[in-house]
A and B are shown apart, each in its own frame.
Chain A
Amino acid sequence: MDTTRPMPLTQPWSKKFWEGCREGCLLIQRCQDCQNNIFYPRKFCPECWSGNLNWIEAGGRGRIHTFSTAYDMVEPRFWEDLPYTIAYVDLEEGVRMMTRIVDCRPEDIHMDMEVEVVFHKLNDEFHLPYFRPVKG
């Protein structure tokens, strides 16, 4: 039974994102030619094919577009986390990411809830950007 946590399968152009996570920064790409904010990271801008892409630090705040809380039928490698909530979060920068919602009870999570990033260390290389409710 495989209980090792899976690590993100990276590409050369996504390494910077994971470096950012290690340093507590949520980075997204910005196309210098068409000003498009890009997530997930690409080799070339998916709007205009420009290779002139920069990284900007996102504010780390967003809203829950949708979520689902898992109680069963996940791989053994995630069993110890059950129950856990997977969500799509819309960042203020206009991009959407999949994440986990943490630091609250699953029954308190709701649609359009305001959340902020909190990094979860998997190992020395990978810290996953999770989100938690904004207090107050």
Chain B
Amino acid sequence: MMKIVVCVKAVPDPQQACNIRIDPVTKTLMRCEVPLVLNPLDKNAMQAALDLKEQFDAHITALSMGPPDAEGIVRECLALGADQGILLSDRAFAGADAYATAYTLATAIAKIGPVHVIFCGMASSDGSTEWVGPEIASFLDLPVVTMVEEIVECRSLQWKVKASLAHGYRLMQVQLPAVFTVTRELNTPRALVFSGIIKARKKSIVRWGIDDLGVPAEAVGLKGSPTIVSKLTTTQSKREVNILTGTREEKATQLLQKLVDSGVV
């Protein structure tokens, strides 16, 4: 049986982004004001797992680290078709940066037992470092392909995937087990259906805290996070309109000068 873990993050609803605030003192997101939803790209990650489950005998675990409220998104994954949910929730995990998050998730994956495929979103919509997937791979000593936009071949333990690049793509061959971070091009996530929600009644969500993972408190959460967010500023983008006057040649010269002055050319 193909064992799949999908890492899913609860993020403040991006549709209510204008209400998201950052605490000026702790420099963390003030999450409580905005409802938590499943990170958009993690829906693609879930769909990738569900597509595999349609082809093969597969077992899907949805894994999330977050506050107790994050249980809602894990339940949603069960309703979408995951077989099992695990929520890593403990005060000790709070304040984690990408490194500590990946360490905690990797420890949980190791506890789950042998898995073949680990899917992550390419990025979260809030933190958006894009590091968590590769860092999980590194902690578990597994190969990783980021920005997967197509799974080309998955009949054996040698997968072929197409991954995006700034000006093209990479065609990669990977030996499972491996970590994949996915883009929205990979698939179109299916919507929740009522029967899925009913089926989720019978599925359980396991909650693991620091004792279940058996990790030292210094390795997780804020204490285990090497990142220091030293300063936070809000950026402002301003537009300005300049109308150039003169003959065509004069206008071209002025435009060129402006581009040089602003460092574009």
Q: Does A associate with B in a complex?
A: no
